[in-house]
Structure 1
Amino acid sequence: MLRKLSLRAHSRAELEKALADKQVPDDVAEQLLGRFTEVGLVDDAAFAAQWVQSRHRVGRLSRRALADELRRKGIDRDVIAEATQALDHDDEVAAAMDLAARKLRSMASITDPMVRRRRLAAALARRGYGSDVVHTVVTRVLADPADPLDTV
């Protein structure tokens, strides 16, 4: 269990599942997780905050996609709301602009503007961005493909 924690932070639910998979009795697992929490090795709020910052920066995921990932990791809804609150609308638009600009560079051979628009929108939607952000970003990027980040 300590080896698992040394690789990266984990949520309490992930560790509960890992202990259950190893057939550790429930009372022993609860004591172990309680002690890990006491000494600060398990902290769902810190884990969620770190996860949001990392995945938003590297994966360019939206708040909604990050919330879904945290929910799958067993994080409480209130903790998720607090962690994702750190990202505002401007952060999402900036990350979506960066993602769209990168995607647009990889579509240099596509000349049909509708195909470009559709593929950009689909790439952003797969990362969890809402229709308002997708529309804004695709419009900005396609308006000035030479330097889309200038319009942010």
Structure 2
Amino acid sequence: MAGRRGARSGRGWDAIPPRTGAGTTAGDDADEPRRSTGRRGRRGAPTSGVFPDGDTPARAEPPRSESEVAREICLRQLAVRPRTRAELAKVLVRKEISEEVIAEVLDRYDEVGIIDDAAFARAWVSSRHHGRGLARRALANELRQRGVDAETAVEALEAVDDEAEASAARTLVDRKLRTATGAPDAIFRRLVAMLARKGYPAGIAIRAVKDALAARDAEAAEFADAIDADALADEAEDLQS
């Protein structure tokens, strides 16, 4: 026991100098920081613009020009459905694109055929007439709301003539009549009003409903026989004028 105490009382455990690293001499200061080699440890701060794990800093993208922004807006709009020049211009104005850039971009789109108001009008008339049964008056109103000029609209509406309107009106009436209930006079008024909302002239609407009622049953036919379609059409036209 005394020998052990003597061993400990000499330099003791705490007196053992710290172990020096490889390549150091006894005269080196053990607490001196290691010299920088130009590189950091794995968890150190990056040097020379290099981030940990080899990543490089994200570069800020250069700002886009107003023309690029305008084209992107237009393409997003056209991806939803075809648009007229006026519709695209309206959106660009709302996005605060300058008038000069709007004209530049839309002129270019006109030139390459990305926008074509005449083709738009023809497709719109065909789709809305056959799909929704709209007459020329309602179609003309929709084209006007979408910025199609009068001349272009007139050309597109030539695809729907009087015969086409009369046929479409009768198809609509027959479809509604299958589930219509009530007295013939009430049904008559409802169906004529329905056709009027779709843009049909009074004469075409009244005749379509009268003919459909005449073919429905005896009671409806008797009511239809008493209808003076021409007189009612003239009266309706006078009220609208």
Instruction: Give distance in 2, aligned partners of 1:92 and 1:145.
Output: 21
Q: Which residue of 1 aligns with 2:125?
A: 52
Q: Are 1:78 and 2:154 an aligned pair?
A: no
Q: Which residue of 1 aligns with 2:65?
A: none
Q: Which residue of 1 aligns with 2:199?
A: 128
Q: CA deviation at 1:90?
A: 1.0
Bigger shift: 137-146 or 27-36?
137-146
Deviating beyond 6 angstroms after TM superposition, the runs of 4 or more aligned structure 1 residues are none
Q: Are 1:137 and 2:208 an aligned pair?
A: yes
Q: CA deviation at 1:102?
A: 1.3
Quote the RMSD (CA, aligned, Å).
1.0
Instruction: Give distance in 2, aligned partners of 1:56 and 1:3.
Output: 27
Q: Which SS does the other structure have where 1:106 is aligned?
A: coil
Q: Which SS does the other structure have where 1:53 is aligned?
A: helix
Using the aligned pairs only, state the percent identity.
Answer: 44
Q: CA deviation at 1:139?
A: 1.1
Q: Which residue of 1 aligns with 2:187?
A: 116
TM-score by length of 1: 0.91
Q: Which SS does the other structure have where 1:145 is aligned?
A: coil
Q: CA deviation at 1:106?
A: 2.3
Instruction: Give distance in 1, aligned partners of 2:96 and 2:130.
Output: 37
Instruction: Give distance in 2, aligned partners of 1:121 and 1:135.
Output: 6
Bigger Rg over Cα: 2
Instruction: Give distance in 2, aligned partners of 1:57 and 1:94.
Output: 11
Post-superposition Cα deviations, 1:32-80, rounded to whole Å, max 9, x if no partner, equal 1011111111111000000000000111000010001001111110001
Q: Which residue of 2 aligns with 1:32?
A: 105
Instruction: Give distance in 1, aligned partners of 2:179 and 2:76.
Output: 39
Q: Which residue of 2 aligns with 1:9?
A: 82
Which one of the candidate residues 168, 177, 186 is aligned to 1:95?
168
Instruction: Give distance in 1, aligned partners of 2:173 and 2:130.
Output: 14
Whichever residue aligns with residue 129 of structure 1, its letter is Y
TM-score by length of 2: 0.58
Q: Which runs of 5+ in 2 are unaligned?
A: 1-73, 218-241
